[in-house]
Amino acid sequence: GAGVSQSPRYKVAKRGQDVALRCDPISGHVSLFWYQQALGQGPEFLTYFQNEAQLDKSGLPSDRFFAERPEGSVSTLKIQRTQQEDSAVYLCASSLVRAGYSNQPQHFGDGTRLSIL
Amino acid sequence: SQKIEQNSEALNIQEGKTATLTCNYTNYSPAYLQWYRQDPGRGPVFLLLIRENEKEKRKERLKVTFDTTLKQSLFHITASQPADSATYLCALPFTGTASKLTFGTGTRLQVTL
């Protein structure tokens, strides 16, 4: 497709369950970012990939959060043993070139709204 | 620590007027600043990027200024329309890295007839 695609759009899970969120970036985009957005707040950085390499994971809130991009295209954000505070919208963004090279804008998907009961 | 402030209160203006949104930052010396638009239930959409050596940038009805002395960016929408109603986010790169953006909380703009 022409844009960043995320699935599922909505996910409801019980506390303690594991979840996996998928991101299909724009084809050919080198950089991929994951953000967490709480209600009424701006997106907060979680992690960054350049192709398949995870270059920055400083924003991941705990070791329950894990992200991968094994072939440098599709990425998955996994949350293990979910807790209620994990409820948020998870946004994926991609950009054409490696971050910092030419200050490229980021193209966002519409996010996955995660609700932990 | 680095901090971005946007007016958290909604901005209500009448159609045809100019909307002005503010983004203030502290403890930053960003090389650039970006503005995004976000509609309910959707991801942010990039609007404009302005670099530190640029005072002003325009795109159609949009104008952004960047004052590195005041540490402030202003975002203007002229001849506003109800379709401009959305939340507008400013974003800057984390100091010391160009790999990630930090976003403000956004300002919701409501344009009424």
DSSP chain B: --EEEE--S-EEEETTSPEEEEEEEES---SEEEEEEE-TTS--EEEEEEETT-SEEEETTEEEEEETTTTEEEEEESS--GGG-EEEEEEEEPTT-SS-EEE---EEEEEE-
Is residue A117, in this structure, part of any structural domain at all? no
How many distinct structural domains can be found in chain B?
A: 1
Range of the domain at B28: 3-112
Write out pLDDT tens, residues A13-51: 999 999 999 999 999 999 999 999 999 999 999 999 999
Q: Which of residues 13-72 of B touch A (CB under 8 A)?
A: 31-32, 34, 36, 41-46, 49, 51
Whether A100 and B43 lie within 8 Å, measured CB to CB:
no
- Give B7→chain A minimum CA distance, Å: 12
Q: Which CATH number goes with the domain that contains A41?
A: 2.60.40.10
pLDDT at A100: 59
Write out pLDDT tens, residues B50-65: 998 998 999 999 999 9
Is residue A24, in this structure, part of any structural domain at all? yes
Range of the domain at A107: 5-111
> Could you tell me what percent of chain A has a pLDDT over 90?
90
pLDDT band at B98 (very low <50, low <70, confident <90, very high): low
How many distinct structural domains can be found in chain A?
A: 1
Residue B71 predicted with pLDDT over 70: yes
Q: Which CATH number goes with the domain that contains B77?
A: 2.60.40.10
